[in-house]
Structure 1
Amino acid sequence: MSMGAPSTTAHRSMASFMSGWAPRPSILHLPPHLRVSAYQQHLTKRPFSATTSQKLSLVDMAVAGPSAILNGLHNVLGLPWYVALPTSALIVRGIFVHYLVNKPNHRSAQLNTTLVTLAQARVPPGALKFKSKPSVRDALKASMAPVWEYRALRKRLGIHSRYTRSLMGFGVLIAMAEAIRMKAGRREGLLSIILSPFEWIVTKGKEMMGSVIKERSTEFGNASTSANSNETVTASNPSSTQSDGAKTILDPLMRDGQKEPSTISAPSDTTLLSSAGIDSTTDSILLADESNALFQAPLRLPDPTLQTEGIPGWCIDLTQPDPTYILPMALFAFIVSNTIFRRRILSPPSPTTAAAMAKIKSAECLTRYQSLVEPEYRLTLKTRAAQVPKSLNYESSKFVSSNSVPEAPSVPLLEKLGFPKITNLGRIQIMGGAIFSILATQMPAAVLLYVVSNMAIAFLQRLWMDVKLPIPPPIMACKRPVKYPAQRPNLREVH
């Protein structure tokens, strides 16, 4: 007997150890979607983890590449942030964007300029006869004929549009700015606002798929539970029921020493959830948390190195706005310079714009001709008016002023200094740049440092491309300026 006691104790300890590995009956009888909910709630209450694992959003996937570039320059090469940010702008804008966006766009612009001339020549003369009619529809049809021919030629020759690549370059800029914003510890950014509709679509898709899976699993769980309960009642005691009306079912984890099956009830889903320690609204809460997590960007702590590796003597903490407002003013200066000094040749005109440019050119020739003739004509008028008797000085001066050529419009000061003329679109861009520069006063200095460096590199690239790959103006039909006969006063009638 002395030898049997230790073996019995060891057997009991082994049985208790093995019983701990068996799953609980209350979890096994839950439907599949409730088991998933219980497991997710168990993960959120783990005592060994302070926070739950964050879900990978579209913003995180979009900034994975830019974050790797920034971390490589700062952590691997050991560059401080005030050097790493302009260097990253030089690498991204000077290499990737240049060879993937700028250079193909410049090649396409050269081909498009040639196509403008070809499209104007291929338009049938009958398509332009509606321009003299007062009908708006016919005039619109006549003005759009060169555009349709231009698009047909571009599609036939396989020349892609430059707007798709330009959007890709703008997306790279936003992704880099968003990666820097996340390192600065800001919660919301431009990329998260742009991607919020796509996040909403993903959330709705997950909710629809979850509801379909939940209905299928509920139907399957109810069918299997009813079949198991019927078999158990027939095998044990068909007439035995509990006080609450629930039928007796067989416990799948029946111990070896038991002769009778243990009876557990098969209540509704709400009772099963409460017995498992889960609220009946767990699924809705989890879905709500999931949708909110997609809309709201996680709160991130700023990188400590960004707070100490700023520009010495100017802006040490790059996570805060620039206190001297030098970066916002530099941003506005680059926006204005890119708007004013951007040559019209860089964006080749459409066929309708090219025809308008031909008319403007003929009008400029006429203005130049008048500017050469008018001074001598005015001098002749003044000389002849001086020869008129004094009694008729009033009428003659009035007659001369009424018949003289009107004064030429005054040239703005910027155009006299050699600056190009600012169009209405340029004025709108300057106003938008001013508004954005005011909003940029509250942005982190790290983001502004990258954006200003990116715009400076883009401006230099544009100048270099103008010299290296110039885009000739489109060849248009020459139109002779209309010469109007000069109206000179008849001095014989005055005398």
Structure 2
Amino acid sequence: MQLVLRPVLWRYPGGLPFYGHVSRRGFSQSSTRKNAVLDAAVAVPTSMLDVLHSAGLPWFAAIPIAAFAIRGIAMYYVTGVPARKRAIIRAHLAPLIQARTARELRPIHAKGKARKVNPFAYSFALFTKPLQVAHRTARPYGGASFTWSTVYNIGIFLAFTESIRLKCGTRNGMLSFLLAPFQTLLSKVDPAHFPPAPDVIAEKIVARLGRAYEQAVATGGDAEQVRFYIQQVQERMPPLVNSDSPYFDASTLVEGFSWCPNLALLDPYYILPMALAAIVLANFRVGNARRGPRWFRYSGLTAAAFFGYIGSYMPAGIVLYMFSSQAAALCQNLVMRRAMPLPPTITRCTRATRSKAKSTASRVY
């Protein structure tokens, strides 16, 4: 049955043998031991991906379907609907939130105009203070901005990206990207117990060999010496794919798109990173961001640029999942706009009154 569903698995392209020399298994009769903690963390995402792939779907279709399934089942009813209800509560409390925000931003603006505070700290306070006020004001009424669902969403996102990274056999993923600064810091503080990553060590060796190669060419070295440096660079280069990993699936190297058949490598044309940045910006515009202040609307451009930058350094399989997850979130927001629309913001009365009403914006309890 598999021969009919996925015949491509049995005739790999000519470029696939290239990965045979970048990573070879040592003499051993057993495979690499798995990590129990890692197995438990990626058990559900891996099972879902395996079920979809075993049904005959290639990886470029199985990954988006898994993203839409997890968004529509595990995240819509568990986190999406409650988050929308909390947003409705905050919309009803908008006048109170705006008044308290204006009151607490008044001394911050005064310090900023007087240049008594660092510009970075001033900008950071302008960004975080409205969020803190909204969370603190709406929390007693059940409209808190930050709850356990935020950690839940991040955990599912990291689990799926890590599962795809293990399937592709690459070392670059979202978790490694987030932990890279801490790894670098620990390697500088205690290099004996926390050695640098293999990629960092290999890059230093390759850079040193590259300088030696350039010096040999400049001084008129013979062809044998030049070939020796080229061979050393090829041997010292870190492997693109860790085929010795027990989680590795070779079909991820051939079941990609026409412009990027290998999901374990970067997108050579940057189509997926640009699509990811565009879908993040669209998702931000469709949500509640356009109803907020100007600085909050502009933060959508920052988020889109940040995700586009991350996508340019991630394997195509992980970027495909990130794009599919954001597309599912966009569809979810469109559905919620119809099913659970936000109430209009309460504003001042525009009808003329006989007596002038006193402003109570400064007297907020």
Q: What is the TM-score with the length of structure 2 in the denominator?
A: 0.56
Deviation of residue 51 (structure 1)?
A: 5.9
Amino acid at match of 2:249: D
Indicate if the aligned counterparts of 1:106 and 1:469 stay in contact, CA closer than 8 A: yes
SS at match of 1:476: coil
Q: CA deviation at 1:64?
A: 2.5
Tell me the distance in 1 between the aligned counterparts of 2:44 and 2:182.
20
The letter of the residue matching 1:455 is Q
- Is contact 1:321-1:443 (8 Å) kept? yes
Query: Which residue in the other structure is 1:99 paired with?
Result: 77
- The reply to whether residue 319 of structure 1 matches residue 271 of structure 2 is no
CA contact 1:328–1:448 (8 Å) conserved in 2: yes
**Structure 2 unmatched runs, 5+:** 1-26, 112-129, 185-191, 200-238, 353-365
Given that 2:58 and 2:255 are in contact with CA atoms closer than 8 Å, whether structure 1 keeps it comes out as yes
Counterpart code for 1:318: L
What residue number does 1:329 align with?
274
C-alpha contact (below 8 Å) 1:318/1:446 kept by paired residues: yes
Separation in 1, partners of 2:306, 2:53: 32
1:188: how far off?
A: 3.4
Give the counterpart letter for 1:327 in structure 2: L
Residue in structure 2 matching 1:448, options 304, 319, 327: 319
The answer on 1:113 being equivalent to 2:91 is: yes
2:250 is matched with which residue? 304
Deviations 1:338-373 (Å, cap 9, x if unpaired)?
Answer: 33444447xx76xxx7xxxxxxxxxxxxxxxxxxxx
Instruction: Map 1:213-224 onto structure 2 (within 5 A).
Output: none
Stretches of structure 1 that go unaligned for 5 or more consecutive residues are 1-47, 137-145, 201-287, 354-422, 482-495
Q: Aligned ranges for residues 145-164 of structure 1 at < 5 Å?
A: 154-162=138-146, 164=148
Correspondence 1:371-410 to 2 at 5 A? none
Distance 1:120 1:187, change over 3 A: closer
| CA–CA separation in structure 1 for the residues paired with 2:255 and 2:146 | 39
Deviation at 1:68, TM superposition (A): 1.7
1:471 match: secondary structure = coil
- What's the offset of the Cα at 1:79? 1.9
Residue of structure 1 equivalent to 2:308: 437
Residue by residue, what CA displacement relative to the aligned partner does 1:293-325 show, whole Å, maximum 9, x if unpaired?
9x88998424211122223x4432222223333
Q: Percent identity?
A: 33
1:24: which partner in 2? none
| 8 Å CA contact 2:59, 2:255 repeated in 1 | yes
Deviates more, 1:314-323 or 1:424-433: 424-433
| 1:89 is aligned to 2:34 | no
Asked whether the equivalents of residues 90 and 457 of structure 1 are also in contact (C-alpha less than 8 Å), the reply is yes
Offset, 1:100: 1.5
Q: 1:30-54: per-residue Cα shift (whole Å, max 9, x none)?
A: xxxxxxxxxxxxxxxxxx9546863
Matched, 1:462 2:333: yes
Q: Give the CA deviation at 1:105.
A: 0.3
Deviations 1:219-258 (A, max 9, x none): xxxxxxxxxxxxxxxxxxxxxxxxxxxxxxxxxxxxxxxx
Aligned length: 263
1:72 Cα deviation (Å)?
1.8
CA RMSD of aligned residues (A): 4.7
- Whole-Å Cα distance in 1 between the matches of residues 321 and 284 of structure 2? 20
State how far apart, in whole Å, the 2-side matches of 1:436 and 1:109 are. 25
Partner of 1:177: 161
Contact 1:59 1:195 in 2 (8 A): no
Q: Could you say which residue in structure 2 is the equivalent of 1:411?
A: none
Question: How much does 1:61 deviate?
Answer: 3.7
Q: Tell whether 2:41 aligns with 1:62.
A: yes
Residue 172 of structure 1: how far off its partner (Å): 1.7
Separation in 1, partners of 2:68, 2:171: 27
The offset of 1:87, in angstroms, is 0.8
Deviation at 1:108, TM superposition (A): 0.9
Classify 1:111/1:315 alpha carbon distance in 2 versus 1 (closer, same or farther; 3 Å). Answer: same
Q: Does the 8 Å CA contact 2:134/2:145 hold for their aligned counterparts?
A: no
Cα distance in structure 2, aligned partners of 1:68 and 1:118: 47
Match of 1:192 in 2: 176
Structure 1 186/117 Cα, relative in aligned 2: closer, same or farther at 3 Å? same
**Residues in 2 aligned to 1:52 and 1:327: alpha-carbon distance in whole angstroms:** 34
Whole-angstrom distance in 2 between the partners of 1:429 and 1:120: 21
